Amino acid sequence: MKKSSPEPNVTAKTVSVDSVTQELRRLIATQIIPPGAKMSEVSLCEKYGISRSRVREVLTALEQRGLVERIPNKGAIVVRLETSQICDIYEVREVLEGLCVRLATQRGDKKMWVKYFNEFSGQLERCVEQGDIDQYIAAYERFHADVVTATGNQILAELLDSIFERTQTIIRRTIILPGRAAHGLKQHQAVLSAMVKGDGEKAEEARRETMRSAKSYFDRYQKYVL
């Protein structure tokens, strides 16, 4: 029997430090690479076809984002968030997310917020009623990305990107808690209603309330989430 050709490895010519970093960020954020996992330099060299020095650049970038920790004599380990850290992150998100929607309301295209309001008030209501949480999460992530872009504030975008990345799995697990998706949907409708009206301050307060509510759900169900 003729042996099948092995799947070709990606060569160093086609792989950059940035592309490997982006891929590992995604795998860590979604817990495909779980908390506590060791990031072996040798394994990463072999998998991505890049040099040891480039792997170290990747690990440095991940460490700067709070995704891995370098431990003497152990190497790089994927960070495991503690309950207190997650609560701290929710408190910071409340302020930053509120600022984000206020700036987006003031600077963004109103037509975009009308489009999202209609989506969150129509199609996504049916999705939540039918238990299609994946489509709801996908829409939420699109909305979040567009709001961040609309602020035009690069510093704010970088801060939120780092925080969102570190807690992506927690966010997804919280959304599927009993009643959370339906409650969160109504809160997003309130945020979007204010954005459509051009009321940045009201949108900010509504978004901050959404964050406080999410933290409350996490506090209540944390043993099922972590």
Return the minimum-mean-pLDDT range out of 135-139, 146-150, 165-169, 202-206: 165-169
Question: pTM of the entire structure?
Answer: 0.76
Q: What is the pLDDT at residue 188? A: 96
pLDDT at res. 14: 61
Of 60, 78, 96, the last residue of a domain is 78
In the predicted model, is pLDDT for residue 7 greater than 80?
A: no
SS3 for 89-110 is HHHHHHHHHHHHHHHHHHHCCH
Task: Write out the residue range of the structural domain in which residue 50 sits.
Answer: 12-78
Final residue belonging to a domain, choices 35, 52, 78: 78
CATH of residue 172's domain is 1.20.120.530
pLDDT at 113: 98
Q: What is the mean pLDDT of residues 138-165?
A: 94
Provide Rg for the chain, Cα atoms: 20
Taking the alpha carbons at both ends of the chain, their separation in whole angstroms is 49
Q: Domain of 38: which CATH number? A: 1.10.10.10
Does position 116 have pLDDT exceeding 80, yes or no?
yes
Please indicate, yes or no, whether residues 113 and 35 belong to a single structural domain of this protein: no
Same-domain check for residues 39 and 107 = no
162 and 135 belong to one structural domain? yes
Instruction: Extract the runs of DSSP E, i.e. beta strands, from the chain.
Output: 38-39, 68-71, 75-78
List the beta bridge partners of residue 71. 75
Q: Is it the case that residue 205 has pLDDT exceeding 70?
A: yes
Residues 209 and 174 in one domain: yes
Question: Do the domain assignments include residue 5?
Answer: no
